[in-house]
Structure 1
Amino acid sequence: MDALTKTPADVRPSEPGMRVLVVAHAHPSYSLGGAELAAHNLHKGLKAIGGATSRYLARVSSPVPRHAASALMSLRQKDDEILYHADEYDHFLLSNRNTEDLRRDFVRFLREYRPDVVHFHHILGLGLETLFAVRDTLPDAVIVVTFHEFLSICHHHGQMVKTGGMKLCQRASPVECHSCFPEISPARFLQRERFIQSMLEIADHYVSPSRFLAERFVDWGLDGARISVIGNGVDIAEAAPPRGLTGPSKRRGSFAYFGQMTPYKGADVLLDA
């Protein structure tokens, strides 16, 4: 498998206008999920409208092999798409333990590209330390974070449902979270909450694809004035045209489910119906 690193000439912008870096927790070529597609569609949309230069940086991890010399890789993606290998991730604190790679490779990329805006879709796998790295390296850059679920609030896969019975959780707290994970003390959950909130404060603005999600984050402690509700972008140019109905019936009898098959997506409700 080819694993070529990007050289400074590859990432240095030559076009005028605003420079945007879209950061995603995975590339659709390796993980086909909603957040991955939303981030990639944003990158493609920015390129299509003109007036801005966009680069796309996505995290990869095992089983994709890491380049020996750098966490930055291409793996034959497009010239404006960069992969960043990150494996040392703390799921509890949403933290990247390999800060050496961040300081050397991620920061090097930031210095070469010099984005005006860095838009994160998820910090999963990359870690909250990437926010600090951007602010420390580019103090004038605008940092935007798009949330795709409650991962910052809820340790149970960011789903805000109780462990065991899958009962909805209305509000996270150190005591409530401890009841779901008895092996983790309330003090540890309080530490988690304060660490994540302090790191998210680095961002200038937040985006939520739904009002419900945004309200939960405001209730949790984020500044509501810094959250915008914007639906995930869809590349309508790739949508198939409507098809005429065939056969004697004028009603459609087929249904489709688009999404990952996990216990949290509701496919079981569709099947039961």
Structure 2
Amino acid sequence: MTRPHGFLDSDRARYVDPSSEGLACTGSKSACRFLIDEGAAHAPWGEPPDALAELRVLHLLPPARTLKKPALPDYLPQATALRRLAMPAPLVAALDDPARLPPSLSTLQLDFDPALLERGPKPLRWPQASLPDLRGLYFVGPSQSTTRWIDLGLQPAQVPGLEFLSCELDPAGQVRSAVAEFASLRHVELADIANHSDIFDDLPKHIEALSLRTSKLKFSLAGLVRLTRIRGLRLNAIRTEIDCGMLASLPALEQLVVLNSKKLTKLDALLEAPELTHLSVLHCGRPFKKELEARFEAKGFEVLDIAFS
């Protein structure tokens, strides 16, 4: 039986498709090995992958020596079904001509590995060109490296249709302030949230999906109540109290995922959450006692994953 997808997963797939269908990489075989093992088609750097017009996700892994003068492959506009393009962050310098990208492109995935940044142009800046059809920015890299996207000088007017953003927060709060400028966001993933309780004041009130990971002890979720259109919420490694009574008051909440968080309170309030159909609580210190677990099982959720809570 196929497990029904909740809002978080189905919505995220619009920007970061997890399937291996239509997946390809270009670069040396050693650099692409992890993708090849996942079923990606492979082509040497400079050569187009097979079935170019059918690709949905393409990873560019150029030789490090080429990053000083970044250039996108000439064949990219022919990848007419491409949805996500993953590449080292230094290649943003080659985005000065949007015609070099296929019009189908929805998400840019940028790798901020410090070793790659060191090989790229300095200073690394986002070109003046705008990408009005871009819907997602997905930043990856070692811990705290993705915070460097704010140094690119990217302005909201250059990506006016941006809906999805995935990155880390920095201790000084500069990323948080930058996120506040992108009013079109509707799906946000933030890691290393530390004690940035005021992040809820910076997020657009209309966002529908939110993932928060790794808080510190002074973090508070109280500000979530202002995000009344939240349909999907994922909380991972939250070290402070998670008041489920407050979560249950979110009028549009359909899916709640809580991972690796040991301070859940008022769990029974979730039984009264008006729209909640998908609930997953994993590795949270077994907060569901036998009688309470039975009440949740009797509720009739579309997905209930609390056996290993």
| Shared fold (TM-score, shorter chain, > 0.5) | no
Q: TM-score, normalised by structure 1?
A: 0.33
Q: TM-score, normalised by structure 2?
A: 0.30
**Higher helix share goes to which structure?**
1
Which structure exhibits the higher relative contact order, with contacts defined as CA atoms closer than 8 Å and separated by 6 or more residues?
A: 1
